[in-house]
Amino acid sequence: MVSLLDIIGPVMVGPSSSHTAGACRIGLFTRGVLGGQPEAALVELHGSFARTGTGHGTDRAIAGGLLGFAPDDERLRESLELAEAAGLRITFQNTKLRGEHHPNTTRITAEREGRKVAVVGSSLGAGRILVTSLDGFPVEITGGYPTLVVVARDEPGIVATVTQQLAAEGDNVATMRVSRRQKGGDAIHIYELDEPPSEAALAAVRSVPAIRIVRAVDRVS
């Protein structure tokens, strides 16, 4: 379903909804999943992002997202300088990602307090994004919902435990997806929620022994 507000919007810093607004949102999502501002980031630009990204400010947009700026924040224009001032070291690199990827795709590897995340995200047009890989796990995250990311041992009952904890606190799941790299290793759960998860639900999920990582990411669009 196409919304009126997808057509009349987003409000954004120019010049391109896919190369600027969408790119910024992928940066914002990466920051969200890292749980704060990165100290360093490697930004690899693929396809059209690599070819015309500079002229479209894609580098500035991603840097702005990593700094927590929304697509309509005029500080995007100076984000490279602001990142340097904020102690965020960003390296940009053109690359050709393996496999099938949308022409406007970036892989961002960001670090904070010894923790590292790797996000592959595509900008689909009109500012919409799709995160297709998180730490090597295949995912499909639109950033249009508050998102709960859980990494847990691949064993029976974990999904039920998480959804029970969410339900107990009245948090409603809009969409859900579980994937893994191999059987018996870790599995990643992506829950897109109607509202950000409550602190109580997060604490309950964190206390489950089989669960290694819990991250609540705000919606980015």
Among 60, 101, 107, 189, binds other proteins (CB under 8 A): 60
Contact 142, 183 (CB under 8 A): no
Site for other proteins (CB under 8 A): which residue of 36, 42, 46, 84? 84
Handedness of CA 7, 9, 14, 20 (dihedral sign): negative
Residues 67, 83: Cα–Cα separation, whole Å: 7
Binding residues for other proteins, total number by CB under 8 A: 40
Residue 58 in contact with other proteins, rule: CB under 8 A: no
Residue 74 touching other proteins (CB under 8 A): yes
CA distance 56 to 14: 8
Q: Which stretch binds other proteins (CB under 8 A): 47-55, 134-142, 146-154, 202-210?
A: 47-55
- Which one-letter amino acid corresponds to residue 213? I
The contacts found for 82-90 with CB under 8 angstroms, 24 or more apart, are: 86/37, 87/39, 88/37, 88/38, 88/39, 88/40, 88/41, 88/63, 89/39, 89/40, 89/41, 90/40, 90/41, 90/42, 90/43, 90/62, 90/63, 90/66
Listed ranges 34-42, 71-79, 114-122, 153-161: which one lies at the site for other proteins (CB under 8 A):
71-79
Least distance (Å) between residue 84 CB and other proteins: 8
The minimum distance between CB 75 and other proteins, in angstroms, equals 11
Nearer to other proteins, 72 or 199 (CB): 72
Minimum Å gap between C-beta 1 and other proteins is: 7
Chain positions contacting other proteins, by CB under 8 A? 1-18, 20-21, 48, 51-52, 54-57, 59-60, 72, 74, 76-77, 80-81, 84, 103, 125-127
